[in-house]
Structure 1
Amino acid sequence: MLNQRDQQVSIDIKQVSNPLHISLSRTDRPPLWRLQHQLIKLLPTTMNDQQAPSATTDGMSTDPTIQRKHAAMIERLSNLHQSRVSNKTDPKDPSFESTKSFLLLFTNSKQAIESSLTQVQQISDTDPTQDLKPELEKMSLSITELEKLVAENSYFLPPYEVRSSLKTISDLKQTLDSVTSKVKPRKKFSFKNRPAKKPEPANTITIEAIENEREQQSSYKVKDSPGFRSKENEILTKEFKGSEIGEFVLSDLTNCEVRLRGCFRTLFINRLKNCKIYTGPVLGSILIEEVEGCLFVVASHQIRIHDAKESDFYLRCRSRPIIERSSGVRFAPYRLCYDGIESDLRESNLDDDTGSWANVDDFQWLRAVQSPNWSILPESQRIDTVNI
């Protein structure tokens, strides 16, 4: 209750989820100033769905004009609160973005991998003849999953956490390589004579050996994921409906045009040359590695580009694109059209162009001056909107 001499006025204070900032005019009369000051102090930062306690103050004017202004102010507070409640993100939602949750999961996974590496080393020291290849393969897959975790969540992580996570993954890979070289199965010593095998011709290279080498060179394993692989001079199309595809892969393509319509979770692109890639919105992230002379028109929450040369990127993204070990790459805004794209962009929360495509982070260039590895594509050289 607010008291002014012998008069009392009842005021309902609506619940609000955040502190309010009320702009006060210096021309208001002192009694109203005191009233507003006490109102601000009484407004809690968090409240349950109950009415706030009443407050009292002296000197409130009974002027009808002032009362109408005050009633309007209370109504605005109520509307603001309802708007914030309706737009509040549910932490129980699977898509809830939390740096703290990511770091906890990342740390637990990292510690589990390190523990497995230590156990493998101990087993090798105890029994040098034991075959530990299955365990090493499991750890390799675990590191790959950890890298995918970073790729899918890096769009909402601070740049420092992304760099730190990638550095940790790189260290784990080096440790795994070191352990692998030390614990390879060793044959038991034997005096048994065995017929010598004829050496294979030096120029004989099997297809299986080539595929194994390629998979080892790639920073992620995409063997079981759907996608387009090992194609030349083709137009490749795919339409996604609902959430039927979690991740999609484009690998070892030359002189191809790829058209992907609809939404999907994650896109991995690896070893492309002279290709044109057009995709609808990607709900998570896009990882691009080892591309040359390509054109990309893609939309995603976060985009990472490694080892790219002389390629153009037309992007729409929520966070700043990241490049590493790249040169001659140019950037421009997203220019793609197909039936239903506006709905897909809204569903993916990519309907607004934030301009992030023009703010590229080059992780290999830490100086204050502009990186020479990327630039903005001049408008006169940009393509028109592509309809797929």
Structure 2
Amino acid sequence: MSADPTLDPTTQRKHAAMIERLSNLHQSRVSNKTDPKDPSFESTKSFLLIFTNSKQAIESSLTRIQQNPDADPTRDLKPELEKISISITELEKLIAENSYFLPPYEVRSSLKTISDLKQTLDLVTSKVKPRKKFSFKNKPAKKPEPANVVTKDTEAIEYEPEQQQSGYKLKDSPGFRNKENEMLIKEFKGSEIGEFVLSDLTNCEVRLKGCFRTLFINRVQNCKIYAGAVLGSILIEEVEGCLFVAASHQIRIHHAKETDFYLRCRSRPIIEQSSGVRFAPYRLCYDGIENDLMESNLDDDTGSWANVDDFQWLRAVQSPNWSILPESQRIDTVKI
């Protein structure tokens, strides 16, 4: 390109320098990207590389254990199985932390992979230890209970086969179960970080303060549930007429009806087989919540709460199953 004779020499030099910078930038993008029009390509490519390598390492470990379960009769496989379980959890956390830029298809595909890995782990565990149900917790074998003893908040909960989409085992997880018309409060401190379950609750108010790893919610009606910072995932199944105020890296919702969700999340909320669900930003306050959110990397509102993925609705138009809660109908900040 020739210089414009109408421009003075100084302006011509600046113009030439600008053209050179733009040319160099373009060449750099072309050489580093397969598709220079896709600004998220490098991040997606990096994620898929890490995800695939981790997935293959986990599958190799599972295959090795499954093929040689009796190579050494004295060998204790529990530490290896625990290590694999932790690796799967870390891989799921990787999805949650990066799904804000990933294409929806990659998120769905990655979550399906996690579910498959968990099912394979359960299968391998049952094969190498057929006579003793595997538990990740160092607990003594549970003794049979007398028929007239009622187990309290940590009683067992079994999911029906069609409800095991998450792949988690909830049998030994602490939580609130089988409650009605009660105020239920739990504060997590230090080493208490772990899994927590809310199941078969009716007309209850639940207040969960502090940081914990995972929250499972199942069969809940007409309840108000307020939760602090969840480091990993929240899985919600079979809820109706409820109000949730929760913060988490990843939130999945199955079979929800006429329920409002006030969320702060790192990745897009996922709904399946749900209707009449509405979403709004997180509105919860308690002493120390700012520190809890910061430690959980949830201190910033990314706006993901408003970008919901409905896995049952594949059309380009807005899903009729969810909506943004109008500001005039939103609750005020709740202090617990």
Instruction: Tell me how far 1:298 sits from its aligned partner.
Output: 0.5
Q: Distance in 2 between matches of 1:176 and 1:353?
A: 35
Map 1:346-385; keep pairs closer than 5 Å.
346-385=294-333
Aligned to 1:164, the other structure's residue is in SS state helix
Map 1:2-41; keep pairs closer than 5 Å.
28-29=10-11
**Could you say if the C-alpha distance between residues 297 and 107 of structure 1 is closer, same or farther in structure 2, counting changes exceeding 3 Å?**
same
Aligned to 1:154, the other structure's residue is in SS state helix
Alignment match, 1:102: 51
Q: Distance in 1 between matches of 2:216 and 2:110?
A: 19
Amino acid at match of 1:307: H
Alignment match, 2:93: 152
Q: Is structure 2 residue 215 aligned with structure 1 residue 267?
A: yes
Q: CA RMSD in A?
A: 4.4
Aligned to 1:279, the other structure's residue is in SS state strand
Within the candidate set 261, 269, 287, 1:321 is matched to 269
Question: Which range is displaced more, 336-345 or 215-224?
Answer: 215-224
TM-score by length of 1: 0.56
CA offsets per residue over residues 82-105 of structure 1, 9 Å max, x none? xxxxxxxxxxxxxxx955433322
Give ranges in structure 1 of 5+ residues lacking alignment: 1-25, 43-96, 124-134, 180-184, 186-206
Q: Distance in 2 between matches of 1:250 and 1:383?
A: 23
Within the candidate set 163, 181, 184, 1:236 is matched to 184
CA offsets per residue over residues 254-302 of structure 1, 9 Å max, x none? 2221111122232222232222110112222222222222210001222
Q: Distance in 1 between matches of 2:285 and 2:294?
A: 14
Bigger Rg, structure 1 or 2:
1
Q: Distance in 1 between matches of 2:306 and 2:94?
A: 21
Report if aligned partners of 2:182, 2:203 keep a CA contact under 8 Å in 1: yes
Q: Distance in 2 between matches of 1:247 and 1:39?
A: 53
Q: Distance in 2 between matches of 1:372 and 1:145?
A: 37
Aligned to 2:57, the other structure's residue is in SS state helix
Q: How many residues are treated as equivalent by the alignment?
A: 276
**Could you say if the C-alpha distance between residues 213 and 229 of structure 1 is closer, same or farther in structure 2, counting changes exceeding 3 Å?**
closer
Q: Distance in 2 between matches of 1:103 and 1:225?
A: 30
Give ranges in structure 2 of 5+ residues lacking alignment: 1-6, 25-45, 71-76, 125-129, 131-149
**Could you say if the C-alpha distance between residues 174 and 387 of structure 1 is closer, same or farther in structure 2, counting changes exceeding 3 Å?**
closer
Map 1:219-234; keep pairs closer than 5 Å.
219-234=167-182
Report if aligned partners of 2:255, 2:272 keep a CA contact under 8 Å in 1: yes
Amino acid at match of 1:301: H
Amino acid at match of 1:318: R
Instruction: Tell me how far 1:331 sits from its aligned partner.
Output: 0.6
**Could you say if the C-alpha distance between residues 174 and 151 of structure 1 is closer, same or farther in structure 2, counting changes exceeding 3 Å?**
closer
Instruction: Tell me how far 1:230 sits from its aligned partner.
Output: 3.0
Q: Distance in 1 between matches of 2:118 and 2:287?
A: 43
Amino acid at match of 2:172: D
Within the candidate set 285, 300, 315, 2:248 is matched to 300
Report if aligned partners of 1:301, 1:317 keep a CA contact under 8 Å in 2: yes
Instruction: Tell me how far 1:173 sits from its aligned partner.
Output: 8.0
Instruction: Tell me how far 1:371 sits from its aligned partner.
Output: 0.9
Aligned to 2:211, the other structure's residue is in SS state coil
Map 1:156-171; keep pairs closer than 5 Å.
156-157=98-99, 158=102, 159-168=104-113
Report if aligned partners of 1:295, 1:312 keep a CA contact under 8 Å in 2: yes
Q: Distance in 2 between matches of 1:34 and 1:283?
A: 52
TM-score by length of 2: 0.64
Amino acid at match of 2:93: E
Q: Distance in 1 between matches of 2:205 and 2:107?
A: 31
Q: Is structure 2 residue 275 aligned with structure 1 residue 330?
A: no
Report if aligned partners of 2:213, 2:233 keep a CA contact under 8 Å in 1: yes
Report if aligned partners of 2:270, 2:308 keep a CA contact under 8 Å in 1: yes
CA offsets per residue over residues 125-182 of structure 1, 9 Å max, x none? xxxxxxxxxx9xx9x9999878755543332143333311333456678889999xxx
